[in-house]
Each structure stands twice: as structure tokens, then as C-alpha cells.
Structure 1
Amino acid sequence: MPSTPEKPSNGPMWKGVIVAYMIVAICYLPVAFIGFWAFGNSVDDNILLTLEKPIWLIVTANMFFVIHVIGSYQIFAMPVFDMIQCFLVKEMRFNHVVLLMMFVAAFTMIIAICFPFFGGLLSFFGGFAFAPTSYFLPCIIWLIICKPKRFSLTWFINWLCTILGVLPMVLSPIGGLRSIIVSAKDTTNSSPDSIPDCRTVC
């Protein structure tokens, strides 16, 4: 977005950020609250796995989920592709970029499939990475840069957000670690004898 002294970009960017966060809140919060209200603690990491009907809604939601993951994966994967590509092209003289992207995507998929407790890992690492950058670090940076008057309304609000933002950073890794331990125990305790035979089921 172009920014000039006459027309700075902070105004439109601020409006865009507000609209984006409102859309995210409208999409995620109802699913979180209604999912917990309907299923309680038995809800899976992916709520779509918990749903059983209606089928058309599950299929539609999964279709949109695939579109969402494809788009978001590109945002996070392209910097990795770029770093690997720069290294291989400059140092190794490897010019097969398409093969490289396919290999990285396949490797990422295999790693994700190999972890039966991927949701717990997301909570564990997300608490360290997502909570600080989203909740309290912006407030601390704003307090350092703007230096509001002590005990003013903005000072109190930012410190409140900082304190409340530390809680997810502490609680999320604890919950994620517990989920990983429980999933690991379930995976270890599951034996081939506990898997039903297809012939007996049919």
C-alpha cells in the first residue's frame, strides 16, 4: 500500500486490521463456544472430526478447510522455499525448483501425518510463539514507544492486556504438553489386538 506524507497508509491499514480481526472473531469464536457447548471436553482438535451429521455440512466445511490450508500454507512455506532455493541455486547449482517445492510439500505432509498428537504440538509451540506476538508484546512495545502517562486509561488497558496475554503463554503449553502425554500414552497402549478385524466387522 503506497504511503506518502500527504496520504499516510496507517489510516487504511488500521481500518483493514480492525476489519480482519472482526472477521476472524466472527468466524472462530462462535465455532469455539458452540463446539464446547455441544461437545464439552470430548471435542477433537479438529471439530469437523467430532461432527457426525449433517453430511453436506461436514463435506462443505472440509472443502473450505482445504482451501484455507492451501492458502495459508503458501504464506508460511514460501519463505522456506525461497531460502532453500537460494541456497541450492547459488551453492549447489540445482535449478529444478518444481521438484524442490514438491519435495518440501511432501516432507511437510509426512511429518504432519507422523505426529498423532499434532494438535498438542500446536498448543505447545503456539503458546510460546503466538501468545507473545499477538497479545502482550505489542502492548509492551507500545508502552515503550509512546510512553503514556502513568495510571492513565491507556496505560491501564495495555498493562491489563499484557497480564492477560501472559496467561495463554503459560497455560497453552501446559495444556499442550498434557495433551501430548495423553496422546502418547494412548498410542503406546494401543496394540494390534485392539484393532477390530475387518472380517468380523463386515
Structure 2
Amino acid sequence: MKYLVDCYSPCFYSCCWCWHISIALECCSIGTPDPVTGKRNYTYIHAVRELLGPKSELICGVLQYSILWGTMIGYTVTTAISIASVKRTTCFHDKGRNAKCGVSGNLYMLIYGAIEIFLSQCPSLEKVTILSVIASVTSFAYALIALCLTTAKLSSNHEFKGSLMVAMVGNTEATSERFWQAFQALGNIALAYTYCMLLLEIQDTLKSHPPENKVMKRASLYVVAGTALFYISLGCMGYAAFGNDVPGNVLSGFYEPFWLVDIANIAVIIHLIGAYQDTDYTLYLLENGLKISFLGACVSISAFIVKLVYAQPVYAINEKWVGSRWPTSPFNKIHTIRFPCSRKGSLHLTINRLFLRTIFVIFTTAVAMMFPFFNAILGLLGSISFWPLTVYFPISMYIVQAKIQRGSYRWFGLQALGFVCLIVTVVSGIGSVAGMVEFLKKARLFHIEI
């Protein structure tokens, strides 16, 4: 009898430990050559350029924007699944559990894409604080509802369906598929550790006394520990309640009480509509030079964990490149559209902005419709981003800044940490790609049935 150890909880806490170490190292990169008195590095990619050179900066930039775009694809798929889940849950409630309530997700992806095209033309979304508040509240709301539902289901089962040692059936296909799913889960776990890309921006908003790097280390430790405790509780409860049949989106495993499940799915939809476009309020604080305290750092990190920056940076880099390449082009001329019902209401846009953002959202939606594998996308994004952005670059910057000698005990310790995390990245990437291949064998392009 062969067994596969499902070590998701140890892996999650191991990732948290590695993450906290890499964050502590990255916090020291706020200044060059000294973290307190040296020249300030205001962004992650700026610190990479100053300490590791232009080649590393290019690699870092490509990875960052690729992850942002990939996450937008994942958001499109997830939103379509949540909208379809609302309709399906209501159908089961009205017609019974045996009714045929299959729902196609293509229409909902198109609706979501149309909404994002409209929002992409709205300027200064980062200054609308209420969007950040709504996105953060809805994120915790659906996670809390999912935790309550899984706890209630576990109580009604009167037994734990999951176990640390999962017996494998005899055929090779089922065994290999199980391994791929376990590896893919590592990528899903690793995806939770991506806020290091904005760590220096948050750190720059802190007061100078005490030193920002010390405050950020302490704030990161508290927030990472609290977030890990909350989400590992949700993961363990879901696995204990459903066992090996736990769905990738745990909310899709519940149908009653239908109104509560619908509220959770609607919260997911609201959260993702805002998070697709919105820029975190921390950036607005940064732009206005507002210095915040240790509590503010905790709030900023928490907000970033539940609502990352996606579409706006991608738009900005494209429009900046086009504007610098053809500065006198009529496509870059600002046009003002005034609203007839308001004296002050107006919309400023360029043909460049209107065209590029619309095409970009359409392309992103089309890719999401072609490859609608929710968990595999998340796993691949996590595997791509975890080692280079969360581990390799922070460790390399710290080695350069602290002038750690090659061959010393500290150097070997840091390299060992990086090697272990590299294995996680490779294994989770293989599992995610294998999951996509398995899905493509059974699915049709531009067809998502929920």
C-alpha cells in the first residue's frame, strides 16, 4: 500500500517561516548601502537595480508584470465561477438537489470583462478610499462565511473525513493525478506570499523613528502569523469536512443555507471587481507623503494581502512606454468629456488610454475563456513568483548589502534556504502544468461548465 503525506499545514507554516525571513532581509534593502542612513530605495524593483544590477531589474520587472497579468486572468475565471454559483445555488434551492442546474460561465466572463473595460477608463481610482475598504471587508467576509460553513458541516458529519495519510488507489493514473494535485497545492500556498513586491513602498510610509526596517519586521511578523492562523484554519476545516472531495473553491461545495452561500459568492464578486482595477490605498498615502505608524503598517500589509495591485500598474507601464515613444502623437492628446448633469463632473482620457486598456482587458478575458482552470492557474502563478520574488532577490540583495562572504556559515545558510524554496517552486510548477494538461484532455476551449 502506497501513501502520500498531505502536509499542507506544515508546508503553510514552513512557507510562513521562510517568508518572514525573506521579509526581514528585504526590509534591510530600504537604504543603500545602509538600511537606516543610506540612499532610499522607494520600490522593490529600484532596490533590485541598485543592489543587483540592470539584468536582475529586467528579470524582476518581467516576473512582476507577468504575475499581475496572470492574476487578472485568475480573477476573471473566479468571478465567473462565483456568479454562476449564485445562479446554481438558487436553482438547487428552488428545484431540488436532483435538478439539472448546469451553468455556462462564458457569458459571465464577458459581463465581467465589460465591467472592467468601463472601470479601466475611470481615473484616480486609488484615491477612492471606500473601494479599498469594501474590497478588504468583502474579502474577510467570504472567508469567514466559508470557515463557518465548513465548521458546521464538520459538526454535522460527526467525523473527520480527511487525514494526514491518504491511501492511494492501485491504478497508476489516479496515483499520478494525486501527486500532481499535491504539488499544485504547494503553488496555491506559495501564491499567498506575494506582497513582498510592495513591501518597500509600505515601509517608506513609516516614520523614521524607530527605524523603518525594524518596525516593518515586527509588523510583518504579526500580520503574517495572524493571516496564516486564519487561513490554515479554513483550509484544515475544509479538508476535515470534505476529505479528498474538497472543491478548489470551497464555497461551491455548499448549497444550504442558500442565502448565506449567495452572500459569500456576491462578496467574492464585489471584491474581485474592485481588486482587478483598484490600487491599494497605501500607494495614495505614499504619494501624499503621509507617514504612518506601526499600526498603520499592519493595516497596510493586511489590506495588501487581501487586495493586491493588478491592472493599474500594467496600464501605467504600457501607457508610459507609448507616451515616451511617440510624445507628439494625437493619440496621447488629453480629451475632456463633461457630464451634462454636473458642472464639475468630467472625464479626462486619451485615445491611447481608451484603445490600449480596452484591448488589454478584451485579450485578458479571451485568455481566461480559453483556459478556465482555476486552481492550476493559481498554482502556476504561485510557483512562478514564490522563489524569485519572495526568496532569491531578497536573499541576494541582503548578501550584497551586508557584504556576506562567500563560503561563510551565513552564506551557506541563506543558500540552503533558497535551495529548499527553489524545490518548492519547481515541484509546484510541474504539478500546475500537469493539472492544466489533465484539464485540457477533458475540457473544450471557450467552454466552461459550472
CA RMSD of aligned residues (A): 3.4
Aligned pairs for 1:1-202 (under 5 A) are 1=205, 4=208, 7-74=210-277, 75-89=309-323, 91=326, 92-94=329-331, 95-96=350-351, 97-98=353-354, 100-135=356-391, 137-139=393-395, 141-143=397-399, 145-146=401-402, 147=404, 150-151=408-409, 156=413, 158=414, 161-187=417-443
Structure with the larger helix share: 1
- Asked if the contact 1:123/1:176 (under 8 Å) is kept, the reply is yes
Instruction: Tell me the distance in 1 between the aligned counterparts of 2:244 and 2:437.
Output: 16
User: After superposition, what is the alpha-carbon deviation per residue over 1:78-125, rounded to whole angstroms, capped at 9, x for unaligned?
Assistant: 121112223444525321335643443343233223213243133234
Give the secondary structure class of the aligned counterpart of 2:443.
helix
Question: Match of 2:256, SS?
Answer: coil
The number of residues matched between the two structures is 186
Q: 1:163 deviation in Å?
A: 4.1
TM-score, normalised by the number of residues in structure 1: 0.70
**Following TM superposition, by how much is the alpha carbon of 1:44 offset from its aligned partner in structure 2, in angstroms?**
3.2
What secondary structure does 1:44 align onto?
A: coil
> Does the aligned pair in 1 maintain the 2:383–2:424 contact within 8 Å?
yes
- Residue 191 of structure 1 aligns with which residue? none
**1:148-180 deviation per Cα after TM superposition (whole angstroms, max 9, x unaligned):** 99557x975x45643432232121112112211
Q: Are the aligned partners of 2:387 and 2:418 in contact in 1 as well (CA < 8 Å)?
A: no
Structure-1 separation of matches of 2:316 and 2:368: 21
TM-score (norm 2): 0.35
Amino acid at match of 2:243: G
Distance in 2 of aligned mates of 1:59 and 1:84: 37
SS in 1 for 2:276: helix
Higher relative contact order structure (alpha carbons within 8 Å, sequence separation ≥ 6) = 2
Q: Alpha-carbon deviation of 1:76? A: 1.7
For residues 67 and 140 of structure 1, the distance between their equivalents in structure 2, rounded to whole angstroms, comes to 39
Which structure has more strand as a fraction of its residues?
2
8 Å contact from structure 1 (residues 120, 179) kept in 2: yes
Q: Report the CA distance between 1:144 and its aligned residue.
A: 5.2
C-alpha change, 1:67 and 1:139, in structure 2 (3 Å) is farther
In 1, Cα distance between equivalents of 2:232 and 2:441: 31
Q: 1:63 to 1:131 in 2, by over 3 A?
A: farther
Q: What 5-or-longer segments of structure 2 have no aligned partner? A: 1-204, 278-308, 332-349
Identity %: 25
Quote the residue 2:74 is aligned against.
none
User: Is the 1:117–1:183 contact (alpha carbons within 8 Å) kept by the matching residues of 2?
Assistant: yes
Counterpart-to-counterpart distance in 2, 1:45 and 1:184: 17
Structure 1: gaps (5+ residues): 189-194, 196-202
Q: Is the 8 A contact 1:124 1:177 kept in 2?
A: yes
Change (3 A) 1:17 1:70: farther
Give the counterpart letter for 1:77 in structure 2.
A
Hey, what's the Cα distance between the residues in 1 that align with 2:230 and 2:369?
A: 26
Question: Relative to structure 2, which stretch is displaced further, 40-49 or 75-84?
Answer: 40-49
